[in-house]
Amino acid sequence: MSRLLDRWGIPAPLFLGYVGLLLFMIGDGIESGFIAPFIADNGAGTEVRASYVITVYGVAVMLASWLSGALSELWGPRRVMFIGLAVWLVFDVLFLAVAVTGENYALMLVFYGLRGFGYPMFAFGFLVWITAVAPVARLGAAVGWFYFAFTGGLPTLGSLVASFTNPILGQYGTLWLSVGVLALGGLVCLLGVRERTGYQRLAPAEVKPVQSLVSSLSIAWKKPRVGIGMIVRIINTAPEFGMLVFFPTIFSHQIGFGESRWLLLVSVIYGTNIFFNLIFGVLSDKIGWQTTIFWFGAIGCAVSILLLYFVPMHLGADYYWVALLVGALYGATLAGFVPISALLPSLAPENKGGAMALLNFGAGAATFVGPAIVSLFLGPVGAAGVVIIFAALYVVAAVLTRFLTLPEATKKAVEKNASLQEVAEVPATS
């Protein structure tokens, strides 16, 4: 079994961690399709006030995404994951049992917002564990499986579960179901994985808490390539979050697909993305992480996002099948960026937690950058202009990717089939 998992690119000691992560993200993703109107109907009063709750949650997610890497270096990934699980469960139970039942808007802001610290610390803490344990030569595949589990749960399978349970349990009952599914996933991961690297701090003993947090920021200028990689990570999904702001109206009404066919198109995009996360993860270990990001991620997305908008606009509603094809192409090319999660910590193996902190911060920042670009430019340049700006950003990412060359220590680790943690320990033991 271990040999089979290793052949697939899954570190065998972490297998139950991947299973638990999938369940955890299903539990987290169950609410994704209906939480905003639910909040509006149960205390917020309006969609605008509900959006404030989601915004507070998003800020917490971005901050926790950064902390997950820095604290995993200091306390060990497993402890950070346990804290993330506990935070999610405590504040979600308070949100459902106190804020929702009392229709208390202030408590909604507090409890749901603080819950935002939960999933990034759990999920990205496990990602740090993966990057510390997996052999560098197979790290792309290991990270690909991480994103297979992550996006497979949120929003894909989570939304699918909700589509079956909402008619039976109602939205409130489904939200309680999500607590149980997520708790099960957390326990499978934390109790099932016995690999010892994640039980201990990854930073040297002399590194103090404040020093660890500062180094997770200062690495951006001490190791400029890591800072460049963070920018590439922001560009990776910023257009994705941005297009979801104005594409629904354009595709549903202006092109004429209608809401149901637009939602199916979104499902095709993310369904394709899930499987290509694996494909490009494995392929990147063979042809190179930098090469995969440049051609399939950056250049691929620059082309596919233009096709996704301009082809349906030109052909119209009668050629919906063509829209599905270009949507699948965009979902596939988005997965071309998967190796960035292997590449960034490999640029600084002696401070991989700091590198992962910046990487995760970039992932959180993308949720704000994309919609911000839309709000700034949609009026002056129109939808077509915004899409061209997104394509141009992907070209910028392609140029920046050329600077993300691996250090000699990482190249030697690839040759020796060593892990990044072993690379980091070499100076201390030599």
**Half-sphere exposure in the Cβ direction for 403 (13 Å, CA):** 14
Say if residues 353 and 220 touch (Cβ distance below 8 Å).
no
pLDDT of residue 256: 94
| CATH fold for domain 213-430 | Growth Hormone; Chain: A; (1.20.1250)
pLDDT of residue 372: 87
- What distance in Å separates the CA atoms of residue 371 and residue 263, rounded to the nearest whole number? 19
Same topology for domains 1-190 and 213-430, yes or no?
Answer: yes
List of residues 6+ apart from 107 with CB closer than 8 A? 94, 95, 98, 99
pLDDT of residue 127: 95
pLDDT of residue 182: 98
> What sign for the dihedral angle of Cα 229, 235, 236, 241?
positive
SS (H, E, C) 16-85: HHHHHHHHHHHHHHCCCCCHHHHHHHHHHCCHHHHHHHHHHHHHHHHHHHHHHHHHHHHHCHHHHHHHHH
Domain ranges of the chain: 1-190, 213-430
Say if residues 336 and 303 touch (Cβ distance below 8 Å).
no
Q: Which residues of the chain have pLDDT under 70?
A: 423-430
| Selection from 426, 392, 335, 342 nearest residue 139 by Cα | 342
* Full-model pTM: 0.86
pLDDT of residue 13: 95
| CATH fold for domain 1-190 | Growth Hormone; Chain: A; (1.20.1250)
pLDDT of residue 218: 85
